[in-house]
Structure 1
Amino acid sequence: MRNWFYYIGILISLLSTSCVDDPVNWTPTYDSTHTIPYGTEVLRKELPKIFPDSKIQNIGVNTHEFFDETDAYYSYAHYMYINEIDIHTISTWSLISNFVYEGGSAFIAIGQGNTVLLNDLGISIDSFTKVKDEQAISLSLQAGTTEKSFVAEKVFNTEYISNYNPETTDILGYLTYNGQKEPNLVKVYHGNGYFLISTTPSLFTNYHVLRKNHNQYVLNTFSFLEDADIYWDNHRMNQRRAGEKNDGGFFNGLSFIMKHESLRWAFFLLLLLGILYLAFNSKRRQRAVPIILPYSNYTLEFAKTLSELYRGNPDHTAMVRYKINYFLEQIRQKYHITSKDTEKDYAELLSLKSGVDIYTCQIIVTTIELFKAKSYLDREDFVRIQSLIQLFNQKSQAYARSNTRS
């Protein structure tokens, strides 16, 4: 009955855990390894299709280290950075600016607060005051002499470009919010290269790339970039910023489990069941009592073995000698006398201790001495010595019973 309660408890725990809904994580991480709505995994996987002739490389180290230690300055490539928050240092942006100045290009989708863009390019970014968080925004892209319009929902970026240098800047797109239209996508020429700057990074996340009316905006935006190799700077960005490295070890796997509620509860349940198992099995168990069997009596087996031995090959001489030795050994163990120590008085001593008459003892002793001296004994000799030994045993037992009664 106790085991039934135990298993029922486990079943209820498993069912309750399996019914837990994993809530949607709306955190804007912009990481290309995240499948949450505001990650960039979908865009990263679609880049080879958008740029089929380009080689795409993830920046897996610190961005400053990448531009400082590689030959990026000598390659004609696109640097891509999509993030609502600027996590780069001023020195890192200076290296990116030098990379573009030497002939590279950079697609930057970022919010407010970048001082390098302001100082080097004269770009200022401002933001509309939000009226409603769920309010849709209108977007437009320059397509030759016309504009192509889009309507986007769940876009929480309302930043726009408030100041720019008209001599080095081409306006490629606009954002209209609450009746006000401002540029949100510009191309800024810098040295031998150029910056393509967008103020709506959330449009390039998984949620919007997977929406039919939104992904067309993304494709049209990337059409302003020429075919070139790409340095993608959104791969495991949070880990690189924290100085962590995903080596595939235990704690990296544990962090993945803790991010998902269902896996987290399953892990805690497994840990609890392990503790309960150790607790119930830590009680002292009674050791099995060993079964000690009594010593077996092999007399009958021994007699059977001898009978089988001599039935097929009757050697009377050996049988008589064995019978004599066995009889003398019984006398020695039972009456503590030997024929060697008292050869002259052996018959008398045997008669005295066994209670058998002297005549019978003398006959059996004489017969034993006679048979010991003979080299060959036949069946009659075996029968004779067997009869004398049986007679002696009968008389000695009778004497022992009479002593017991008296």
Structure 2
Amino acid sequence: MKKTFKIYAVIFIVVMVILALLEVNKKETTNWRKNFNINEKSPFGLFVFNNEAKDLFKNNLKKIEQTPYDYYTQHKKGVHNIIVIEKELDKESWKKILDQVSNGSDAMILVSHISKDISDSIGYHSSDISFEEENVLKLTDKKYQNDFIKLDKFPSGRGFSYIKPKVEVLGKTVEKNNSDQANFIKVQFGKGTIYAHSEPLFLTNYYLLKPGNIKYAQDVFSYLQDRETIWFVENDTKVSRFFMRFVLSNPALKYAWWLFLGGLLLFIFFNAKRKQRVVPVLEPLRNTSVDFVKSIGNLYLQEGDFHDMMAKKAQYFLNKVRMDLLIDTQNLDAEFAKKLQLKTGKNIEMINEAIVLIRKGQDPYANVMKEDLTRLNKLLDEILK
């Protein structure tokens, strides 16, 4: 027993020394995660904007860590401004915000994704409009034509693919190889106004610290009236009361702590294993479903009936579209292709090619080759991915 313990102790010390050496020589890595955290100094945090927001709103800004639903349930407010920056809100919170706007308040919504039922009620629908690695955000007002931001790091490519007639476009995404797409709009909602921006990335540390970029942010918020402004932020500023917070906040100590716990558990496990009785091994019941599917697939391949396999693949795909995407598949026409493209966000050329192959599989007199089956299978899997 003592000899075994000494071996474990030596192994533990050696591993600890190796980890310490690795930690000392470790290079600092940049966290490029889009966290939109007001306390994060990483490239895509909101630390800079949080510090500048007080001056930007003339000390008339109030940060709220509650959800809009909880806040407005407890407080009765007059007309004011509302700001939401890349924050996930439940449906009831959105309804509370819309109620405030309908009574005369203004809301600045800077989010890349918003639930479709809420966006449809406002008058727009957001989707992917760009797949370029770089693009430029510009405002349509002539007095702001010299103020713009170039997004050269991980732009979301989000914009407004559907806008009701009464919606005013205030800003666009500009690219070299594509036409301009709306990314900043103004919507009259009841007595108030909703401003929606689909690319909140311009408020992050990486872009605001670049010379001249802060002017674009000032222009965007200049559309809000000079009055009390409420900014709903994440509730992540509270200090942990956990007694191990110092150890866990330091990477080297944290790794050492978890390694110690892991070594202790291994020691207990192997020590207990030596003393417990032998447990007989019971083979689990074998699941033959996969074998059955493989056998059926091999049978089809041996028969060479690619037409039947293609028809069944098409039938399964259309049933999936009806059940999951709620799209009528009776007529595989241009309208069906457009609906499928909007629901899946896939390329319309890919969808049209898949529809042609589906029709070919449904045609009992069509000559189906193995290449057709392979291509259809690849397209349908890509569409439903």
Same fold (TM over 0.5): yes
SS at match of 1:138: strand
2:82 is aligned with what amino acid?
Y
Distance verdict in 2 for CA 1:77–1:96, change over 3 Å: same
CA distance in 1, matches of 2:258, 2:75: 46
CA distance in 1, matches of 2:47, 2:17: 37
Deviation larger for 91-100 or 18-27: 18-27
Report the alpha carbon displacement of residue 114 of structure 1 after superposing the two structures with TM. 2.4
Pick from 51, 71, 92 the counterpart of residue 76 of structure 2: 71
| 2:144–2:219 CA contact under 8 A, matched in 1 | no
CA distance in 1, matches of 2:116, 2:40: 28
Distance verdict in 2 for CA 1:71–1:11, change over 3 Å: same
CA distance in 2, matches of 1:103, 1:29: 31
Report the counterpart of residue 126 of structure 1 in structure 2: 127
Q: Gaps (5+ residues) in structure 2?
A: 1-12, 264-385
Distance verdict in 2 for CA 1:264–1:92, change over 3 Å: same
Q: Deviations over 1:369-388 (max 9, x none)?
A: xxxxxxxxxxxxxxxxxxxx
SS at match of 1:180: coil
Distance verdict in 2 for CA 1:191–1:11, change over 3 Å: same
| 1:30–1:40 CA contact under 8 A, matched in 2 | yes
Q: How does 1:251-400 map to 2 (within 5 A)?
A: 253=245, 257=249, 263-269=250-256
Report the counterpart of residue 93 of structure 1 in structure 2: 94
CA distance in 2, matches of 1:53, 1:112: 29
CA distance in 2, matches of 1:211, 1:188: 30
TM-score, structure 2 normalization: 0.57
| 1:58–1:235 CA contact under 8 A, matched in 2 | no
Distance verdict in 2 for CA 1:182–1:272, change over 3 Å: closer
Report the counterpart of residue 137 of structure 1 in structure 2: 135
| 1:203–1:209 CA contact under 8 A, matched in 2 | yes
2:54 is aligned with what amino acid?
P
SS at match of 2:245: helix
Aligned residues: 250
2:41 is aligned with what amino acid?
T
Bigger radius of gyration among the two = 1
Distance verdict in 2 for CA 1:220–1:162, change over 3 Å: same
1:111 is aligned with what amino acid?
S
Report the counterpart of residue 229 of structure 1 in structure 2: 228
2:64 is aligned with what amino acid?
I
Report the counterpart of residue 62 of structure 2 in structure 1: 57
SS at match of 1:17: helix
CA distance in 1, matches of 2:88, 2:216: 26
Report the alpha carbon displacement of residue 108 of structure 1 after superposing the two structures with TM. 0.5
Report the counterpart of residue 393 of structure 1 in structure 2: none
CA distance in 1, matches of 2:141, 2:199: 19
Report the counterpart of residue 208 of structure 2 in structure 1: 209
Q: Deviations over 1:214-273 (max 9, x none)?
A: 32221221122222222112233xx5xxxxx9353026836971xxxxx21234347879
1:30 is aligned with what amino acid?
F
1:94 is aligned with what amino acid?
K
Report the alpha carbon displacement of residue 180 of structure 1 after superposing the two structures with TM. 1.7
Identity of aligned residues (%): 18
Which 4+ residue blocks in structure 1 deviate beyond 2 angstroms?
Answer: 7-19, 112-120, 142-152, 162-167, 213-216, 245-248, 251-256, 266-276
Report the counterpart of residue 306 of structure 2 in structure 1: none
Distance verdict in 2 for CA 1:225–1:254, change over 3 Å: same
1:81 is aligned with what amino acid?
V
1:63 is aligned with what amino acid?
P
**Is it true that 1:39 corresponds to 2:45 in the alignment?**
yes
| 2:186–2:196 CA contact under 8 A, matched in 1 | yes
Report the alpha carbon displacement of residue 21 of structure 1 after superposing the two structures with TM. 2.2
Distance verdict in 2 for CA 1:108–1:274, change over 3 Å: closer
CA distance in 1, matches of 2:121, 2:244: 40
Report the alpha carbon displacement of residue 175 of structure 1 after superposing the two structures with TM. 0.7
| 2:134–2:155 CA contact under 8 A, matched in 1 | no
Report the alpha carbon displacement of residue 156 of structure 1 after superposing the two structures with TM. 1.8
2:170 is aligned with what amino acid?
L
CA distance in 1, matches of 2:26, 2:118: 46
Report the alpha carbon displacement of residue 65 of structure 1 after superposing the two structures with TM. 0.9
Pick from 242, 245, 262 the counterpart of residue 250 of structure 1: 242
Report the alpha carbon displacement of residue 47 of structure 1 after superposing the two structures with TM. 0.5
Report the counterpart of residue 48 of structure 1 in structure 2: 54
1:205 is aligned with what amino acid?
T
SS at match of 1:100: helix
- TM-align CA RMSD: 3.3
1:82 is aligned with what amino acid?
I
Report the counterpart of residue 145 of structure 2 in structure 1: 147
Report the counterpart of residue 380 of structure 1 in structure 2: none
CA distance in 1, matches of 2:30, 2:162: 37
Report the counterpart of residue 176 of structure 1 in structure 2: 174
Distance verdict in 2 for CA 1:120–1:36, change over 3 Å: same
Report the alpha carbon displacement of residue 11 of structure 1 after superposing the two structures with TM. 8.6
| 1:155–1:203 CA contact under 8 A, matched in 2 | no
Report the alpha carbon displacement of residue 147 of structure 1 after superposing the two structures with TM. 2.9
CA distance in 1, matches of 2:15, 2:97: 59
Report the counterpart of residue 327 of structure 2 in structure 1: none
